[in-house]
Amino acid sequence: MSKSKYAKIVAAYRTDLSLALQWARANKTITGPAEVQKSGDAYYARVKLKKGKGFLKNLISDKFGSFIKVK
């Protein structure tokens, strides 16, 4: 089983996405800065992972619920 090196975090609002990125960095799940981009009516950031994508999904969903998605 191989780990994904990158993940995409998607949110409806830029502030929600910024909070999720800050939370993930504080928990040492992602590395470095992530460039926030707009796609249609949502914002997303492509991030490099330190841990697995499943760990990031659980961390984000526990804190933010259904407001933020990890793909």
pLDDT > 80? residue 4: no
pLDDT band of 1, cuts 50, 70, 90: very low
Specify whether the CB–CB gap between 68 and 10 falls below 8 A: yes
pLDDT at 16: 96
pLDDT at 3: 63
Domains of the chain, start order: 6-70 (3.30.70.260)
The answer for residues whose C-beta is within 8 angstroms of residue 31's C-beta and 6 or more apart is 47, 48, 49, 50
Residue pLDDT, tens place only, 6-55? 999 999 999 999 999 999 999 999 998 899 999 999 999 999 999 999 99
